């Protein structure tokens, strides 16, 4: 099932999500639906709050569905360690057509549970590290526009306000 993507300023995007406690068929279905929804929206990452589910899980696939080995579902994820810095343009399915440069760690090691509840560690750099940090932020109610300068954030919010007035948001 393809879920519609929740857009800013829906309050679910600002909430701290709850831990996942049940590792059952419903969770596997949610993960499968999230992949379907993310591919339909042509994203490389999707956090559960973005489909209106305030739970601590996200998925990433930097290959956009081309390489099954790149499909990752991280449940109750934690950032274990970070290294270095990168400054690149970032976007978000919940903020369509908004892009800005965001400073992130270059390399990130994550710890998370899989859909059957087993803990694992995974790491990545560059784009994958950026996706890990961006999606992990969603679980704490943080958007990438909260990580740019105050002036840039205000410009972005004004632009969204104008689009809302025109009915284009």
Q: Active-site residue numbers?
A: 135
CA distance 66 to 81: 28
Contact 113, 76 (CB under 8 A): yes
In whole angstroms, the minimum distance from the beta carbon of 1 to Ni ion comes to: 20
- CA 61 to the chain's CA centroid: 11
Per-residue contact track with Ni ion, 37 to 76, x per CB under 5 A? ----------------------------------------
Stretch that binds Ni ion, among 19-27, 84-92, 102-110, 160-168 (CB under 5 A): 84-92
CA angle 29, 33, 35 (to 5 degrees): 120
In whole angstroms, the minimum distance from the beta carbon of 131 to Ni ion comes to: 9
92 binds Ni ion (CB under 5 A): yes
Q: Pick between residue 117 and residue 153 the one whose CB is nearest to Ni ion.
A: 153
Other CB atoms within 10 Å distance of the CB of residue 56? 24
What residues are paired with 122 via a beta bridge? 110
In whole angstroms, the minimum distance from the beta carbon of 106 to Ni ion comes to: 19
């Amino acid at each position: 099932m393809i879920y519609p993507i929740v857009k800013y300023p829906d309050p679910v995007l600002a909430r701290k999500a709850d831990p996942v406690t049940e590792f059952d068929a419903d969770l596997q279905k949610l993960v499968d639906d999230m992949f379907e929804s993310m591919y339909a929206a042509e994203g490389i990452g999707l956090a559960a709050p973005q489909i209106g589910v305030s739970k601590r899980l996200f998925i990433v696939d930097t290959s956009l569905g081309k390489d099954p080995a790149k499909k990752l579902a991280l449940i109750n994820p934690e950032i274990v360690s970070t290294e270095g810095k990168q400054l690149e343009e970032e976007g978000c399915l919940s903020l369509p057509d908004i892009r800005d440069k965001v400073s992130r760690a270059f390399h990130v090691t994550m710890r998370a549970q899989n859909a059957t509840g087993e803990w694992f560690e995974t790491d990545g750099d560059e784009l994958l590290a950026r996706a890990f940090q961006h999606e992990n932020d969603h679980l704490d109610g943080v958007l990438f526009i909260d990580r740019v300068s105050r002036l840039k954030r205000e410009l972005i919010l004004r632009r969204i306000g104008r689009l809302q007035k025109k009915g284009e948001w």
